[in-house]
Amino acid sequence: MEAVIQRVEKQIQDILAANPEHFLVEIKVKPTNNIKVFIDGDNGIGIDDLVKYNRALYKELEEAALFPEGDFSLEVSSAGLGEPLKMHRQYVKNLNRFVEVTQLEGQKTEGQLTAVDETGIVVEETVGKGKKAEVVKHTIAFSDIKSTQIQIKF
């Protein structure tokens, strides 16, 4: 499966090269030859772009005869809010949004993502309520992060 993932990754990267604001997040291939490609954009990604990428990649996979029996399915979608952040560009894109960060040792931090650099992130957490509320800044290295989820606040 690793060879399939590498081949699909090269093909989708070539397709995405025409639009540098869009980027590959992840590729998953199931044993049933179900290929799932997750794409994101610095300013989001529209359904029209996803359809265009799906058609182009499907055509290339057919022509490459990666699956000689032609027995594969392809899904190209956005990373989605329910998916954890996986790439540095996703952190930058989601600056000032509320996140929940789970660290490797299990500690969870909820707050606003206020800074991102090459080594980690800063999350500002409001502790307490009213006049006694204070903002605590947590600097978390990428190497200490198990997962980061966007939190929807209403």
What lies within 8 Å, CB to CB, of 143 at 6+ separation is 120
Q: Is it the case that residue 70 has pLDDT exceeding 80? A: no
In angstroms, the CA 119 to CA 134 distance is 26
The fold adopted by the segment(s) 88-151 is SH3 type barrels. (2.30.30)
- SS3 track for 84-96: CCCCHHHHHHCCC
Give the type of residue at 22.
Answer: H
Query: Residue 29 — pLDDT band, cuts 50, 70, 90?
Result: very high
Region 76-86: mean pLDDT is 88
Q: Is it the case that residue 82 has pLDDT exceeding 90? A: no
What sign results for the dihedral spanned by CA atoms 88, 90, 93, 95? negative
HSE-up of 10 (CA within 13 Å, CB side)? 8
For the chain, the domains span: 2-78, 88-151
Q: DSSP secondary structure string, 66-85? A: SSTT---EEEEEE--TTSPP
In angstroms, the CA 80 to CA 109 distance is 21
Region 117-145: mean pLDDT is 94
- Report pTM: 0.83
Q: Which helix (H) or strand (E) holds 109?
A: strand 108-116
Q: Is it the case that residue 22 has pLDDT exceeding 90? A: yes
Per-residue pLDDT of 83-123, as tens digits, reads 899 999 999 999 999 999 999 999 999 999 999 999 999 99
The CATH number of the domain covering residues in 2-78: 3.30.300.70
- Residue showing tokens 């291939």: 29
